Structure 1
C-alpha cells in the first residue's frame, strides 16, 4: 500500500532542502525546516502519520528527539492520542528509564518517563529520518521495557543507502516500518 501519492511525494521532496557539508564535510544534511514552514506540506505529513496511528491501533505516539517531536506531536493530536517524548539522557526531569546504544564512534543514551507507558499501550514511534537505525532501534527496546507494545515505526524519510532498515529488522519484531519517502 502506498502511503504517499505522487503529488504528495513531489510536494514533500520539493520542501526538503539538501545542505552540503553539514554537520561535517562530505555529509549532505536533509533539512526539513522548509517542509515545516509550509502548512500544506506539514498537513500532508501530519495527516498520513495520524492515519498510521489509527491503522496500527496506537494509543500513544513516541517522538524521537528532536525533529521527531515536531512530527509526532501534531500527529498524536490529530489521532486523538497521547505523545511521549524520547529524549537524550539527562533532559527529562524526575525518574526515567534509559537505553544505551552504539554509535559509529562511542555510545549514546535515550530516556523516557516509564510511568507514561504501560502494558495496555500500543506505541507508534515517529522520527524524521531513518539513517543508520541506532536511535530507532534503542527506542523500540526502551518502549518494550515499559511493558508497552510497539505498534510500529514511522519515518518521514529513509536514507536507504545507509541500510538502517537492516539494523532495525530484529528490533521491530514484526512491527511495521512505515516510510513516507525513501531517498
Structure 2
C-alpha cells in the first residue's frame, strides 16, 4: 500500500500559495493508518530508543500509537503554557519572530535514548529546537522521524541526527 495515496493536498491553506498536506485522510483510513504505523515501527526500531517523543500536536498522533506498538513510553513536547508542574523551556527563532516549546522537567532521565517524531518536516526549525531541548535534559537523541518531508525546503539539513520520512514531496 502506498500511504501517499491517502494524504490529501489542500491548496491555499493556511494562506494563499501554500499547498497543505493533510494527514486526516490517512488517519481516517484504518488500513492506511495501520500500514503507516507499521512502516514507522520498521524505521524507528533500529535506533533502539528507550522513549518516543512527540511534538505538539500532530506529532502526538504519530508518536503515541507508535510507542504503544513498540512497547515504549511516550513523552510530549508542547507549546508554552500547556504542561503542568515543573517544566524546561526552549525558545527559538522563526522566520518572523520566536516560539517556545516546553517539556516536563522529570519526563526524561539523563542518558535516555530517544527518537523524536512529528507528522511533517518542513524547514526543520521546530524539530531542531526539540532536539536541543532534549539534549539540555541529558537525552541522547538517536533520530528524528516523520510521515512527510517537504524535501524542497531542506529542513533535514538543520538537523544533526538521522532524519527520515515515509513520504517526500519535492514541490
Name the TM-score, length of structure 1 as normaliser: 0.89
Compute the TM-score of the two structures, normalised by the length of structure 2.
0.95
**Number of residue-to-residue matches in the alignment:** 169
Deviation at 1:48, TM superposition (A): 2.1
Partner residue of 1:148 out of 136, 139, 142: 139
Q: Does 1:40 align with 2:49?
A: no
Structure 1 segment 121-132 matched on structure 2, within 5 A: 121-132=112-123
Could you tell me how far 1:51 is from its partner in structure 2? 2.9
Which of the two has greater helix per residue? 1
Tell me the equivalent position of 2:167: 181
Kept in 1: contact 2:40–2:166 (CA 8 A): no
What does residue range 54-65 of structure 1 map to in structure 2 within 5 Å? 54-65=45-56
Per-residue displacement from partner, 1:90-110 (whole Å, max 9, x unpaired)? 111111111111111100011
Per-residue displacement from partner, 1:108-165 (whole Å, max 9, x unpaired)? Answer: 0111112110123111001111001010000000111111100100011110111111
Deviation at 1:50, TM superposition (A): 2.3
The runs of 5 or more residues in structure 1 that have no matched partner are 1-7
